[in-house]
Amino acid sequence: MRVKFVAGNWKMNGNRASNEALLTDLVPLLAGISGVESVICPPFVYLQQVLSLIGGTKTALGAQDLCQFGNGAYTGGVSAAMLKDSGCSHVIVGHSERRALFGETDALVAEKFAVAREAGLVPVLCVGETLAERESGATEKVVDRQLQAVMQRCGAAALRDAVVAYEPVWAIGTGKTATPEQAQAVHAFIRGRVAAADAAVAAEVRIVYGGSVKAANAEQLFAMADIDGGLIGGAALVAGEFAAICRAAAQKH
């Protein structure tokens, strides 16, 4: 049985006051929910603040990105070792915003995935197609290319303890959620591609959905056989929404 996984990706949002207000509301709500792994991913500069507010609870700390290099002369970079040292257990790699706006290639994402694992962090690997790619029938080709880059670099076994987030780019922050059936089809495809390399790993890897997940649609999405939770953007900034999404994941057995 795969333990459900829900991560909140705050993206470049928040300030010290709003973070504190959000977590003061959220932490007690999450404390009442069991059977789901929850992770909060704030901007780097707020990792310590968030850790001080969630520390000692079951909720884990994650980063939104990391540098592919180890410590050294890489101005502006934040290494896997620094994230680990700062109390992170998870890190998002290959988010579509990183790919589209910061020019991250499949090879760079695979490298980041590798260094995260080497440091003992759980990578949350984002994959997903744009609207144009979906409309031209290229969804599986694109998702497979993004996935294979990581499997070739790290081996399929590396996915066992990782999380794959299927996030159709057209559904992120747009209010257009993939239907449960659309998402399930891609999740099943991803699990099948992992199974082609290693069936045992495919049975264990958590594949979560991201893209306009809200309390109102989470239950239906998480009811699908291959959807093991969610990567949540906008709704992660609202305590009641995020907690309700975690509750929906916890209810799925």
| Active-site amino acid positions | 95, 167
Residue pair 212/175 in contact by the 8 Å Cβ criterion: yes
How many whole angstroms separate alpha carbon 85 and alpha carbon 116? 13
Q: How far is the CB of 72 from ligand PGA (least distance, A)?
A: 30
Binding window for ligand PGA (CB under 6 A); candidates: 23-31, 61-69, 127-135, 206-214 = 206-214
Would you count residue 234 as binding ligand PGA (CB under 6 A)? yes
Would you count residue 139 as binding ligand PGA (CB under 6 A)? no
Interaction residues for ligand PGA, span 8-37 (CB under 6 A): 9
Alpha helices in the chain (DSSP H): 16-31, 47-54, 80-85, 96-101, 106-118, 131-135, 139-154, 180-197, 199-204, 215-222, 239-251
Of 65, 104, 167, 226, which lies in the binding site for ligand PGA, with binding defined by CB under 6 A?
167
Residue pair 124/91 in contact by the 8 Å Cβ criterion: yes
Q: How far is the CB of 171 from ligand PGA (least distance, A)?
A: 6
How many whole angstroms separate alpha carbon 213 and alpha carbon 172? 9
Q: Nearest residue by C-beta to ligand PGA?
A: 233
Binding window for ligand PGA (CB under 6 A); candidates: 106-114, 127-135, 143-151, 231-239 = 231-239
Q: How far is the CB of 1 from ligand PGA (least distance, A)?
A: 25
Distances (CA, A) of 19 to 130, 177, 233: 31, 26, 15
Would you count residue 83 as binding ligand PGA (CB under 6 A)? no
How many whole angstroms separate alpha carbon 81 and alpha carbon 2? 28
Closer residue to ligand PGA (CB): 12 or 73 = 12
Would you count residue 231 as binding ligand PGA (CB under 6 A)? yes
Q: What is the DSSP letter of 56?
A: T
Would you count residue 40 as binding ligand PGA (CB under 6 A)? no
Of 211, 222, 250, 252, which lies in the binding site for ligand PGA, with binding defined by CB under 6 A?
211
Binding window for ligand PGA (CB under 6 A); candidates: 55-63, 75-83, 204-212, 244-252 = 204-212
How many whole angstroms separate alpha carbon 225 and alpha carbon 60? 25
Would you count residue 123 as binding ligand PGA (CB under 6 A)? no
- One-letter amino acid at 22 equals L
What distance lies between CA 39 and its chain's CA centroid? 9
Contacting positions for ligand PGA (CB under 6 A): 9, 167, 172-173, 210-213, 231-235
